[in-house]
Amino acid sequence: MKIEKYGGTASDVQELLSIRDGIGALLESHAGAAPLTPRADLYDLGEALQLHLEVPGVQLADLEIGLDDEGLQVAGLREPGLELGSVVFAERPVGPFHRTIPLPEPVEPEGVTAHLASGVLVVTLPKRR
């Protein structure tokens, strides 16, 4: 492997560093601006569909779950974590969220059940017969 010395001038390098810093500042100014969108998996269990939705730190009582023509609706609010001191960095998004999960076939609303398991909302939706 041959290593070649960069042939650009100091001003070229300074311009690249300036561009990099500008991009970094732009990204930082928009950090957290994107809405919270919990990740989801939908499974076909044969007689039922089952949704797994990541909602760490959210209690079942703080979730709104419903069915409409568009599918399964899940909404809630993820609050900031414990205040243990000044934040060095924070990657876990907080705030309100809403997901619409389109369902591939009709379900029986009366039989829908939901529970939390290790920060994952599990919603079981029996298929309509």
CATH classification of the domain holding 88:
2.60.40.790
Average pLDDT of span 8-36: 68
**Domain total of the chain:** 1
In a domain, 21, yes or no: no
In a domain, 7, yes or no: no
Average pLDDT of span 11-35: 68
Single-letter amino acid code for the residue at 37? T
Whole-number Å distance between alpha carbons of 19 and 29: 15
In a domain, 105, yes or no: yes
Give which of 7, 67, 57 is closest to 36, Cα–Cα. Answer: 57
Q: Please, are residues 128 and 103 in contact by the beta-carbon 8 Å criterion?
A: no
- By residue range, what is the domain housing residue 96? 40-126
Q: Please, are residues 50 and 112 in contact by the beta-carbon 8 Å criterion?
A: no
CB-based burial label for 113 (10 Å; 0-12, 13-18, 19+): exposed
In a domain, 121, yes or no: yes
The residue among 10 and 123 whose pLDDT is bigger is 123
In a domain, 97, yes or no: yes
In a domain, 19, yes or no: no
Average pLDDT of span 94-114: 95
Considering only 33-42, 53-62, 71-80, 84-93, which range has the smallest mean pLDDT?
84-93
35 SS3 class: coil
Average pLDDT of span 69-83: 88
How far apart, in Å, are the Cα atoms of 2 and each of 5, 7, 13?
10, 15, 21
